[in-house]
Amino acid sequence: MCGIFGVYNYYGDVGEFRQRALDLSKKLRHRGPDWSGCIVADNNIVCHERLAIVGVDTGAQPLTNADESIVLTVNGEIYNHKKLEAELKQPASFKTHSDCEVILHMYSEIGTDVCAKLDGMFSWALLDRRSAKSRLVAARDPIGITTLYIGRVSAHPETVFIASELKSLNEECDQIDEFPPGHYFDSEDGQFHRYFKPDWWAPERIATAPVDYRQLRESLTAAVRKRLMAEVPYGVLLSGGLDSSLISSIAVREAARISASAQSDTEDIDTRGARYFPRMHSFSIGLPGAPDLIAARKVAKFLRTAHHELTYTVQEGLDAVADVIYHLETYDVTTIRASTPMYLMSRKIKSTGVKMVLSGEGADEVFGGYLYFHYAPNADDFHKETVNRVHNLHTSDCLRANKSTMAWGLEARVPFLDKEFLQVAMNVRAEDKQCSKDLMEKAIIRRAFDVEFADAGFTPEELAKGPYLPHDVLWRQKEQFSDGVGYSWIDSLKEWAERRVSDEAMAAVDQRFPYDTPSTKEAYLYRELFEQHFPQKACLKSVVRWVPRTDWGCSADPSGRAQKIHDKAY
């Protein structure tokens, strides 16, 4: 991934603004420490801060076509770039080995229809100069795995600002919106257009397909396999919970399978990563003695990964919170709780030379894995909640995974949010996904990879390879990341906020924060730190707070331990 910044139809002297644009783009350099680029064309500016993962030797951006009439800046990865290159009808002169350059050539042939053809995670801005008035087209991936914002100056509504993060816009724009996932923006009509239209997207459409465990397993395996595309050292984030452990297990198997097979130029996916770096590195973090560290150690030993166990102290975590809020650009309680250890871990991972990791975000939303799903009134409500949770991933877990890692120039890829896997998983009826007091959450995906489960449809060849994970890990109860790093972590954050926010301040909270008023001292403190970095009112619009379904009888505290079903509940 990278950082992108652009200004379309600038209202002043674009030559004079160039240095200011470079300064604003520089605020994103943590996302792209490897190189920088800037193109000024007419009254438009396109900037790029590069993190080199694929096309390391030649992939500098912004990208241009042969006559430089089309300019493109991209943040992300296009996993089906080889397939798309083969679909081009006209001969194209590729200037780089980047997986993203195909966007430019596909757009040249089919225009905005290119958006729906892309399989990957991406945010991009394209300047089309082939007509008298330049055209801006910008797009964001279907679920919002990458981050993107659009800004305007109310006195000059014809000008559009685009950036990967809020911090490049808040000093220039008095109107800032999060760019909606699954949409593209077209300057020709000034509108957003939805291009991602899967049949499962509407919450009111109830899924009816019975589970096919083999199809579920194969589609997730394919999602992991395509994400091994890299030309740099990579690894897996391994908390020891089901989601990260399962992704790690599949990645180890697929990397071994690719590296053992003959090189094939006919394969649709890019397999260079597994061929260059077949030994899988795994990373876990926690306070000393944390539940996740113990579980991750067991999984790493089982998978024979090169395991890195990282620890931090409570004080180190507290000291990092202000920086975490600056990078995350949110004051949401549960996001900050979980992002702080992830932020600290990402810094240590980057120091090892690893630049890309696979992670397990998305499974809890897709399969109803959060413990509050146990309280769903019925199957229809359960299904609607999973769809709504996927809709909002870009405001919580995707935001956390992207910005916590990219704060240190580390890229996180999330196979559970592969659009082909989602097409399978989100169409499975809720009756097959639901949990109960007698059935653990996410049993459907556990069974799909449980070699002891007769209905999983394993072939004799697959069974011969043995289990994907130790049984007690495959069937480990859901442990939210902010709990699993050590139960004292959340307790310490609450105690810290109790010391920092007085009773008098809390009593007047609605006067201090009349908009989206915090309800706890912890939330008050995070909001205060957020506004130190982002005092502009425009910055509040993109923040969404994660709250469980209290109308189902759940605790309002987002911690998994706050739910009575947790083995070690408060």
Annotated binding site for L-glutamine: which residue ranges? 99
Facing residues of 284 across strands? 309
Instruction: Give the DSSP letter string of 351-404.
Output: HTT--EEE--TTHHHHHT-SGGGGG-SSHHHHHHHHHHHHHTGGGTHHHHHHHH
- Angle between the 291-303 and 242-260 helix axes, to the nearest 10 degrees? 20
Instruction: DSSP letter for 261, please.
Output: S
Tokens linked to 480: 């939210």
How far apart, in whole angstroms, are the C-alpha atoms of residue 337 and residue 359?
18
- Cα-based distances in Å from 450 to 369, 535, 561: 17, 50, 26
Helix (H) or strand (E) holding 5: strand 3-8
Note if the bond before 62 is cis, omega within 30 degrees: yes
Give the sign of the dihedral formed by CA 28, CA 416, CA 321, CA 526: positive
Residues 6+ apart with CB under 8 A from 216: 424, 425, 428, 444, 445, 448
Binding-site residue set for ATP: 237, 285, 359-360
Tokens 């006067």 correspond to 511
How far apart, in whole angstroms, are the C-alpha atoms of residue 478 and residue 446?
12
Specify the 3-state DSSP secondary structure of 59: coil
Instruction: DSSP letter for 112, please.
Output: G
Q: Is 2 a catalytic residue?
A: yes
Alpha-carbon Rg for the chain, nearest whole angstrom, is: 23
- Angle between the 521-533 and 314-328 helix axes, to the nearest 10 degrees? 50
Give the sign of the dihedral formed by CA 373, CA 379, CA 382, CA 383: positive
Catalogue the active-site residues: 2
